[in-house]
Each structure stands twice: as structure tokens, then as C-alpha cells.
Amino acid sequence: MELTEQQPTTLMIADDHKLFAEGLSAILSEQHNFKIIGMASNGKEVLHLLNNQVPDILILDLNMPVLDGEIAAEKIRQLFPAVKIMVLSMYYTTKLATKLESIGVMAFVQKDTDAETLFKIISGLQKGEKYFQKIKPDIQASSFNDGDHFQKSHNLTAREMEILKLISEDYSSQQIAQKLFIALNTVDTHRKNMAQKLNVNGKAGLLKFALENKLR
């Protein structure tokens, strides 16, 4: 009786950090049982790719321009339900994990996970297993809850504090605008003002500041 050769698991990567995406692709391509069939730098690009070729597993970043990972995941679940989605992100909270699982994401993994663990998770996904890392419950930092002192010391308005908190929870500008019922241009203006007040560079700088000050 002839043994049939097992087909490799096909993978697609969506991440706007080119160096990280290429490094991840190289590591995964070294495994004989994985095959990279596409790479995208934002959610819109990955939707275009999926119209032409559907992978077994999509490895998706959350923080991406044009169309972020969370919104992209919702659309992909609707349009391509057979695709198993793994979110690979720097930012991880139990609240976000619960939201992603409710969308239909099958795995939520931090980017500092070692390669061997990642290989095992991907192989498990292909078998239909889910993977959500166990972390301690979200802790609200006293520095943020001491609202007035934190706000005054950084010369932030109440609205800016509200937006900064949402930035720390990986909300895109579009999502913040919808959640707070304000215009997208207004959110962008607040972002620019905060970046200037906090002496940070753009979206990435604000997110880093929010995480370092435990605003999540």
C-alpha cells in the first residue's frame, strides 16, 4: 500500500512591519510542512489576496494601516469562513482575546513567542485546535486611575485621556470615531495634539506611551 505524501499547510501573513513579516516568512518556510502563499501589509491587501488564493491559516497583525486586523478578521470570517485566523500581536489583553474569539479568531499569540511554540500552535490550528495564551487578569494601573494628577501632569484634556485609553486597547482612529461619536478628522487632530504634548512620534509613539504608562 502506497503512502500519500502529506500536503503542507498553506499560510498567508498580514503585517505592516516588512522586516518582521519577511523574517517570519523565512522561519516558517524552513519547515517542510508549511508553505507561504501570500504576504500583505494591511487588511485591505489581504482581502485582495484572499480573492485569488485562500490559505489554510492566515497570520494577522492587529495594528495595520488602511484596514486594521480586528476589522479585517471580521470581514474575513464573513467572506472566507474556511480560513483559520491566528492573530500575532505585540499587545495582549484578556478583553481583546475575548473579543477576537467571539469574532471567530482561532488563536491569539504574542509576537515574543518562540519559534518552536509557534510551529506547534500552527500545527494545532490545522487540526482544529484553538490557542489563547493564559495571562493574568487585566490590571488597571493606579497612575491612570488617579486621573487628575496624570492628566494635569501631561497637560491632557479629558477627551485626549479618553482617546489615549482607547489607543492602548488597539482601537483604530475609525473605531475611536465611531465609539465616541466624533468625526475621524477630530480623532486625528487629537492624536497630533497628544503626540506634540507627550513628545512622541505619531501612532506608534502614542501606543508605546500608553502601554508604558499602563493605560490598558
Does 3 reside within a domain?
A: no
Over residues 190-207, mean pLDDT: 88
Reported as a pLDDT band with limits 50, 70 and 90, residue 146 is very low
What pLDDT shows up at residue 124? 96
How many angstroms from the chain centroid is the CA of residue 174?
15
Strand partners of residue 85: 58
Q: Using alpha carbons, list the distances in angstroms from residue 58 to 8, 80, 104, 127, 128.
A: 14, 11, 13, 15, 14
Say yes or no: 15 and 72 in one domain.
yes
Say yes or no: 82 and 152 in one domain.
no
Does 160 reside within a domain?
A: yes
Strand partners of residue 58: 12, 85
What pLDDT shows up at residue 130? 95
pLDDT at 125 over 70: yes
CA distance 97 to 103: 10
Does 4 reside within a domain?
A: no
What CATH code is carried by the domain that includes residue 156?
A: 1.10.10.10
What pLDDT shows up at residue 95? 81
Over residues 57-66, mean pLDDT: 88
Share of the chain above pLDDT 90, in %: 43
What CATH code is carried by the domain that includes residue 32?
A: 3.40.50.2300
Q: Which helix (H) or strand (E) holds 6?
A: none
Does 114 reside within a domain?
A: yes
Does 137 reside within a domain?
A: no
HEC per residue, 47-63 = HHHHHHCCCCEEEECCC
Q: Which domain holds residue 68?
A: 9-132
